[in-house]
Chain A
Amino acid sequence: MSAVLRPSAPPQVETPLRRFASQFAESRLALVGLVVFVAIVLAALLAPWLAPQNPYDLAQLDIMDGRLPPGSVGASGMVHWLGTDDQGRDMLSGILYGLRISLMVGAGSALVAALVGASLGMLAAYAGGRTDTLIMRLVDLQLSFPAILAALMILAFLGKGILNVVIALVVVEWAYYARTVRGSALVERRREYIEAAQCLALPTGRIIFRHLLPNVLPPLIVVGTMQVARAIALEATLSFLGLGVPITEPSLGLLIANGYEYMLSGKYWISFYPGIALLLTIVSINLVGDQLRDVINPRLQK
């Protein structure tokens, strides 16, 4: 649909990055997703400067400001654009800070899980035999177990806290990376360039990291993006169930849980706005991820 040749545009040197960018931009939806995602990340990073209140500082909250509807003015003269929750926490500030936690937990757990999963997957593919069997049965075991149940059990054992949530998410997610990486590494391993490297008697570590890894990276990136979204959703679920973050430092899931009891009495904003923020975050990441998959996957290449 979109023209590859634009007569007005000056002739450009086609670098791989530029090609990638133009292919990515072919989907308007993905672009919108990217813009929203970048905006959300910026908002989260700049939360301490953007937020009118530090929602984690108990001294700044006042229960006398509790459950104010959007647009109300609190006792301190602050305008609560998105209302307040039952503790008098400004919802806008709560959401901005909550996004920080959600993104941090999502990205952090996805990164660690990718490291662990990719290493194990690569090891399984390269070593083969018993190592392969052992690792892949572990993966099967992990994948056959509902993620939320596994995470709940781990948190029940470790206790609450952001770090523990990250650990739990890593434990339930590494298997996805391991399986993906092993699949593509198995294919790559039989390619001539690996054989060539082996003939040159290069050390195994070097073959794996310098030759194999770059070639299994694309599927890893795609799975990674999707898993970030999944990790954010899982963290929200855990917090909603009261097992994630401490109640005085709510993430999006806990903010939603706080307002859930007030839904029946018409105080919609306590759950609604954090819900919208969570929805936007996950949808935008998924849109970007979908398009990444289409662009990176050579088999879908036009």
Chain B
Amino acid sequence: MGECAWTARGCAAAALVLAGFATASGQSLTLGVGAPVTSLDPHYHQLSPNTAVAEMVFGALTQTDAKARIIPDLAESWRAIDETTWEFRLRRGVRFHNGSDFTAEDVAFTLERVPNVPNSPSSYAIYTRPIREVQILDPYTIRFRTAAPYPLMPRDIAQVKMLDRQTHAQATTEQFNAGIMAIGTGPFRVSSHRNGERIEFERFDGYYGTQPHWQRATLRMITNDAARTAALLAGDVDIIDQVPTSDLAKLRTDQRLSVAEVTGLRIIFLSFDHSRVEATPFVTDNDGKPISPNPLKDPRVRRALSLAIDRAAITERIMEGSAIPSAQFLPESGFGYVPTLNPAKADPEAARRLLAEAGFLQGFRITLHGPNDRYPNDSRIIQAVGQMWTRIGVRTTIEAQPWATFISRAARQDLSSFLIGWGTSGEGTNPLRNLVATFDRDKGYGASNRGRYSNPRVDALTDAAMREIDDTKREAIIREATIIAMDDTAIAPLHIQRNAWAMRRGLALDARVDELTRAQDVTPTGPAR
């Protein structure tokens, strides 16, 4: 003490510098994300930004690693007892943020809650419906009986975030959004939430797994691409996702930054209105009169629209190389990828012939909708598609809207054709069940089949794949269903995105194929200077 007395000021200054250093660079992380989080209720709305936040706050029985492989989370191990029974052994000593214990009771409670979340725009029930009976053997062992063989159980259950029976018995989506009920077992707890703007997190020191490096994390939603890049360059945020393709080349060469990239699992596609037999609202003849029956029900019309699209031009010019053209749901690494299904070269002549065959020699008019703040270059892509369609005689009007407006219209089947994306799990039954299986609330199928495509053969094969325990056979069934759906142009796939993040130098990111941006995946590289 005495020795330090004469340099008290110096000591204090040094301490201040150290403290400042620790809070400024060592402990807090600000993430700038491009897509807004719509809810903190983990069972409300299946959407990647929501899942990313849910994985920071909550836990599930299993989880996927950066390459979409299944690894344990709240369950230590699992096995199939017989064809229709799965047994999960839970991790012991796991606590929720409020100190409550995590046990098998909570798993049972969660499974009861999932199908009963009111007004869910894209329900998680698809993952819990196959479970017919839950059997609690002891507080840390639980068995699920399913009506049919359910090979996807360990993968699907990763989507179901676990809640606490004591805490969440009466919890509403609004209470989650207010942050009061956003209590999970994950590495972070929510300290504040301003809807559509920012979420602040604090590290949960009782987390059972590897502690994240960051004491505090802030998630800022910056939907404007240029603003997000500018925020990174200005140092307002430490890392951004959905790096604008127009900036990628420049950011790669910037000494102050580093970029992480990986080919993702998100398919960008066009969806058509299959729900109306009579006229569809945004297709008219060249005089502006409705056309009945709905031309989009004719597979030749859909194929013509798909054939008109020059996918390579879009990925090269609009996406600037950060996407690969696609003719199916999955990238090459996916389970159920069809090697023979390659994106056709654009053929306007063939497209015109198909239209003429379908009785539209003079073409027709259509309005193509899409979001303008959700996917990289979303509004530019639909304009480019508009050019290509107009060239085959389908005069196209483009309407790009903010995601919130757009998705509520798409979910109500208000639109005739629209661009949308889907982050698959990397396993073929996921897009089959969600995007092209007949919409069925009870089965939980077709949850995001917003065009309401319906084909009994695809449905039957999807069901068969869902029952097949043998992986080789299952993959063959998935391929067959995929080929049928694609031959029928149930949807028109455009491309699969490459995911890109940019961050300040000195940070490293475990880039995820599922494009989730989570604070626990960011680590500092070496000592900060």
Binding site for B on A (CB under 8 A): 57-59, 61-64, 66, 86-88, 160, 242, 246-248, 260-267
Contacts of B396 in A (CB 8 A): 58
B111 within 8 A of A: no
Query: Which of B10-18, B165-173, B313-321, B484-492 forms contacts with chain A?
Result: B313-321
Residue of B233, B244, B387, B400 near A247 (CB, 8 A) is B400
Contacts of A63 in B (CB 8 A): 313-314, 317-318, 384, 387
- Contact yes or no, A261 B225, CB < 8 A: yes
**How many Å from the CB of B214 to the closest CB on chain A?**
28
15 further A-B contacts with Cβ under 8 Å, apart from A247-B372, A262-B246, are A58-B396, A59-B390, A63-B313, A63-B318, A63-B384, A63-B387, A87-B383, A87-B384, A242-B402, A248-B386, A261-B225, A261-B247, A264-B247, A264-B250, A266-B250
Q: From residue 378 to 406 of chain B, which have CB atoms closer than 8 A to chain A?
A: 379-380, 383-384, 386-387, 389-391, 395-400, 402
- Contact yes or no, B387 A62, CB < 8 A: yes
- Contact yes or no, A265 B398, CB < 8 A: no
A-B contact pairs, 23 of them (CB 8 A): A58-B383, A58-B386, A58-B387, A59-B387, A59-B391, A63-B314, A66-B317, A66-B318, A86-B318, A87-B380, A87-B383, A88-B387, A242-B372, A242-B400, A247-B372, A247-B400, A248-B386, A261-B226, A264-B226, A264-B229, A264-B233, A265-B246, A266-B250
B1 within 8 A of A: no
Contacts of A160 in B (CB 8 A): 399
Query: Once the chains are docked, how many angstroms separate the CA of A62 from the CA of B386?
Result: 10
- Contact yes or no, A248 B383, CB < 8 A: yes
**Chain B contact residues, majority secondary structure:** helix
**How many Å from the CB of A10 to the closest CB on chain B?**
60
Query: Once the chains are docked, how many angstroms separate the CA of A176 from the CA of B5?
Result: 70
B24 within 8 A of A: no
- Contact yes or no, A248 B249, CB < 8 A: no
- Contact yes or no, A248 B398, CB < 8 A: yes
Q: Quick one: closest A residue to B230, CB to CB?
A: A264
Query: Once the chains are docked, how many angstroms separate the CA of A247 from the CA of B249?
Result: 26
Q: Quick one: closest B residue to A160, CB to CB?
A: B399
Report if A246-B387 is in contact (Cβ < 8 Å); known contacts: A261-B244, A261-B246, A264-B250: no
Residue of A66, A88, A260, A267 near B226 (CB, 8 A) is A260
Query: Once the chains are docked, how many angstroms separate the CA of A242 from the CA of B378?
Result: 14
Top 6 closest pairs, chain A to chain B, by CB: A58-B390, A59-B390, A261-B226, A58-B387, A63-B384, A248-B398
Query: Once the chains are docked, how many angstroms separate the CA of A153 from the CA of B387?
Result: 32
- Contact yes or no, B246 A61, CB < 8 A: no
Contacts of B244 in A (CB 8 A): 261
Query: Once the chains are docked, how many angstroms separate the CA of A292 from the CA of B225?
Result: 43
Binding site for A on B (CB under 8 A): 225-226, 229-230, 233, 244, 246-247, 249-250, 313-314, 317-318, 372, 379-380, 383-384, 386-387, 389-391, 395-400, 402
Report if A87-B387 is in contact (Cβ < 8 Å); known contacts: A64-B317, A247-B379: yes
Q: Quick one: closest B residue to A59, CB to CB?
A: B390
Q: Quick one: closest A residue to B392, CB to CB?
A: A59
Query: Once the chains are docked, how many angstroms separate the CA of A86 from the CA of B382?
Result: 12
Contacts of B229 in A (CB 8 A): 264
**How many Å from the CB of A205 to the closest CB on chain B?**
42
Query: Once the chains are docked, how many angstroms separate the CA of A266 from the CA of B247?
Result: 10
Query: Once the chains are docked, how many angstroms separate the CA of A2 from the CA of B230?
Result: 51
Query: Once the chains are docked, how many angstroms separate the CA of A62 from the CA of B372?
Result: 20
- Contact yes or no, A64 B318, CB < 8 A: no
Q: Quick one: closest B residue to A65, CB to CB?
A: B317
Contacts of A260 in B (CB 8 A): 226
Contacts of B379 in A (CB 8 A): 247
- Contact yes or no, B380 A86, CB < 8 A: yes
Query: Once the chains are docked, how many angstroms separate the CA of A1 from the CA of B99?
Result: 86
- Contact yes or no, B398 A246, CB < 8 A: yes
**How many Å from the CB of B322 to the closest CB on chain A?**
13
Contacts of B389 in A (CB 8 A): 58
**How many Å from the CB of B365 to the closest CB on chain A?**
12
Contacts of B380 in A (CB 8 A): 86-87
**How many Å from the CB of B441 to the closest CB on chain A?**
31
Contacts of A58 in B (CB 8 A): 383, 386-387, 389-390, 395-396, 398
**How many Å from the CB of B316 to the closest CB on chain A?**
9
Contacts of A264 in B (CB 8 A): 226, 229-230, 233, 246-247, 250
Query: Once the chains are docked, how many angstroms separate the CA of A86 from the CA of B391?
Result: 18
Contacts of A57 in B (CB 8 A): 390
Query: Once the chains are docked, how many angstroms separate the CA of A266 from the CA of B253?
Result: 14
Query: Once the chains are docked, how many angstroms separate the CA of A246 from the CA of B246?
Result: 22
Contacts of A59 in B (CB 8 A): 387, 390-391
**How many Å from the CB of A44 to the closest CB on chain B?**
23
Query: Once the chains are docked, how many angstroms separate the CA of A265 from the CA of B384?
Result: 21
Query: Once the chains are docked, how many angstroms separate the CA of A247 from the CA of B250?
Result: 26
Residue of A62, A66, A265 near B247 (CB, 8 A) is A265
**How many Å from the CB of A244 to the closest CB on chain B?**
12
Query: Once the chains are docked, how many angstroms separate the CA of A261 from the CA of B372?
Result: 13
Contacts of A246 in B (CB 8 A): 397-399
**How many Å from the CB of A11 to the closest CB on chain B?**
62
Query: Once the chains are docked, how many angstroms separate the CA of A261 from the CA of B384?
Result: 17
**How many Å from the CB of A153 to the closest CB on chain B?**
14
**How many Å from the CB of B24 to the closest CB on chain A?**
26
Q: Quick one: closest B residue to A62, CB to CB?
A: B387
Query: Once the chains are docked, how many angstroms separate the CA of A66 from the CA of B383?
Result: 12
Name the residue in B230, B314, B384 with the highest tally of chain A Cβ atoms < 10 Å from its Cβ: B384
Contacts of A88 in B (CB 8 A): 387
Query: Once the chains are docked, how many angstroms separate the CA of A16 from the CA of B247?
Result: 59
Query: Once the chains are docked, how many angstroms separate the CA of A171 from the CA of B233?
Result: 39
**How many Å from the CB of A156 to the closest CB on chain B?**
9
Query: Once the chains are docked, how many angstroms separate the CA of A52 from the CA of B397?
Result: 22
Name the residue in B313, B386, B387 with the highest tally of chain A Cβ atoms < 10 Å from its Cβ: B387
Contacts of B225 in A (CB 8 A): 261
- Contact yes or no, B226 A263, CB < 8 A: yes
Query: Once the chains are docked, how many angstroms separate the CA of A287 from the CA of B163?
Result: 66
Query: Once the chains are docked, how many angstroms separate the CA of A248 from the CA of B387?
Result: 10
**How many Å from the CB of A25 to the closest CB on chain B?**
44
- Contact yes or no, A64 B313, CB < 8 A: yes
Query: Once the chains are docked, how many angstroms separate the CA of A64 from the CA of B312?
Result: 10
Q: Quick one: closest A residue to B379, CB to CB?
A: A247
Contacts of B233 in A (CB 8 A): 264
Q: Quick one: closest B residue to A258, CB to CB?
A: B380
Q: Quick one: closest B residue to A89, CB to CB?
A: B383
Query: Once the chains are docked, how many angstroms separate the CA of A260 from the CA of B246?
Result: 11
**How many Å from the CB of B471 to the closest CB on chain A?**
41
